[in-house]
Amino acid sequence: MIPDIVLINTRPLAHVNRSEPLNLLALAAYLEANGLKPIIHDEVRPITNLDELLGKVKYAGITANTCAYPRAVELNRRIKEQYPRVTTIVGGVHPTTMPDQALRDGFDIVVRDEGELALCAILRDGTREGIVSGEHIGDQELYRPARHLIDMDFYKRMKLNEPQNSSLDFIEPANTPAASMLATRGCPFSCIFCHNIWRHSRMRFMPVERVIEEIAFLKAQYGVGAIWFLDDHMFIKKSWGMSLFQQLIESRLNVYWASSARADSMDEELLEAAARAGCRQLTIGVESGSDNVLKTLDKRASVAQNYEAIRRCRKYGIRTLSAIMLGNPGETRDDIRKTAEFLIRSKTDSASISYLTPYPGTRLWEMCEEKGLLPDNIDFSRFDGQEAAPVQISDFTRSQLAGFKRSMLLRFYLQRHTFPGLLRRIIANPGSMFRKITTSLR
């Protein structure tokens, strides 16, 4: 069988993804539902021979977020040199926001925004070049991911014994097989650093029955007992959430799960149902302990709401992971002191502290452009969330921010309710915890 397209998941240079390539799995599922034959070449865990495929197919589609974009360009160059008859398509958040640059970088076609409808049209019409803007699909078209095209066992293993990734802290016992999943698309807010500021997409929700079907499948096929929902904001629509949690309880699937949600959506009834449906951890985009900073970021949630959300989660036995950012525009020492205080006083269970990074397409990127903060020949591979991107947004230098981060993490993890957990994880997995601690303290 000759596939209609090979979809390529790029492996960013510095960082291994522990999650299935959900965007390509969604694209492939849509193509299959429309009678087309995609195949996935996953650079993170290849189970296909790319050269063999490129010798046969007419189209190669590459996905790229910002940190993976340099790898996508490199791969495209190789394909154009060795397989000139193959039409290359690039899609994903980075080329969506910089489509002209992607054409200049040598891709034949750039798909902006959602790829499902655009890709079907390209394959059916035999399009060979240009920028194609993707229309958004509807709720009923959010199909279950085409997991048969990748090595699911590998991704299951990647999430086990990963004490260095706080998002996976909810997996207990530590050897419970886990999978990632998306049940919604979009978020109606527009924080200045987030992709949703340019997406302008309405929220879409996978039909609840389909979510349950997918979880039942994951359990039966791969023995999965824990689900990592990677949705931007899963608690946004109370009626959908209540229906999902209710059906999960009734299904007796007994899986447990983690997700992200905004503080202002943590309605008690919803949290109580979520906890009964197996919710073990919620990541809250706290960002800062200062209302001034939250205002600048256009977060539209207050520090008081963040405190309250953590209190409510604790009440229902749900762990909280507070996501914090340092290096925000106009951030002062006093703001940073308040953030450090938030981490202690809120009694959040874990904290992840990153440096604010301006991604193309966001309001933050424009602000940096207007102020002349962006270096020429920017190295996008450094936008991988591991270290600070090469842009100084606040008054503090990179090493000052690293100092603040170190002292915040030390204070946080030396508390009576966090230290034993940390110690347990160090003893269970000294190698990866050493890496985690040294990276976190950079």
Contact residues toward ligand SF4 (CB under 6 A) are 187, 189-191, 194, 196, 232-233, 262, 285
Per-residue exposure over 198-211, b if at least 16 CB sit within 10 Å of its own CB, e if not: bbeeebbbbebebb
Q: What's the CA gap between 271 and 317, in Å, rounded? A: 10
Angle at 219 between CA 216 and CA 221, to 5 degrees: 100
Residue 272 CB: number of other CB atoms within 10 A?
16
**Angle, CA 198 vertex, CA 195 and CA 203 arms, to 5°:** 75
Tell me: does residue 440 bind ligand B12 (CB under 6 A).
Answer: no
Among 3, 38, 70, 92, interactor with ligand B12 by CB under 6 A:
92
Query: CA angle 93-350-227, nearest 5°?
Result: 60
Q: Decide: is 354 part of the binding site for ligand B12 (CB under 6 A).
A: yes
Interaction partner, residue 31 (ligand B12, ligand SF4, none; CB < 5-8 Å by kind):
none
Residue 82 belongs to what H/E stretch? Answer: helix 69-82
Does 215 participate in binding ligand B12 (rule CB under 6 A)? Answer: no
Which of 86, 89, 146, 248 lies at the binding interface for ligand B12 (CB under 6 A)?
89
From the CB of 92, what's the least distance to ligand SF4, in Å?
Answer: 17
Q: Cα separation of 14 and 442, whole Å?
A: 15
User: Of ligand SF4, ligand B12, none, which one does residue 91 interact with (CB within 5 to 8 Å by kind)?
Assistant: ligand B12
Query: Please, what is the minimum distance in Å from the beta carbon of residue 249 to ligand B12?
Result: 26
Pick from 135, 76, 137, 140: nearest CA to 103: 76
Distance in angstroms (rounded) separating the CA atoms of residues 282 and 261: 7
Instruction: Decide which of ligand B12, ligand SF4, none touches 205; Cβ closer than 5 to 8 Å per partner kind.
Output: none
Shortest spacing between CB 47 and ligand SF4, in angstroms: 32
- Site membership for ligand B12, residue 119 (CB under 6 A): yes
Of 3, 38, 61, 163, the residue at the interface with ligand B12 (CB under 6 A) is: 61
Residue with tokens 């996976």: 168
Least separation in angstroms between residue 298's CB and ligand SF4 is 8
**Rounded to the nearest whole angstrom, what is the least distance from the CB of residue 417 to ligand B12 in the complex?**
26
Residues 21-50 that bind ligand B12 (CB under 6 A): 21-23, 26-27
Q: How many residues bind ligand B12 (CB under 6 A)?
A: 39
Contact at 8 Å (CB) between 330 and 356? no
Helices (H) and strands (E) in the chain, counts: 18, 14
**Region of 19-27, 244-252, 367-375, 419-427 interacting with ligand B12 (CB under 6 A):** 19-27
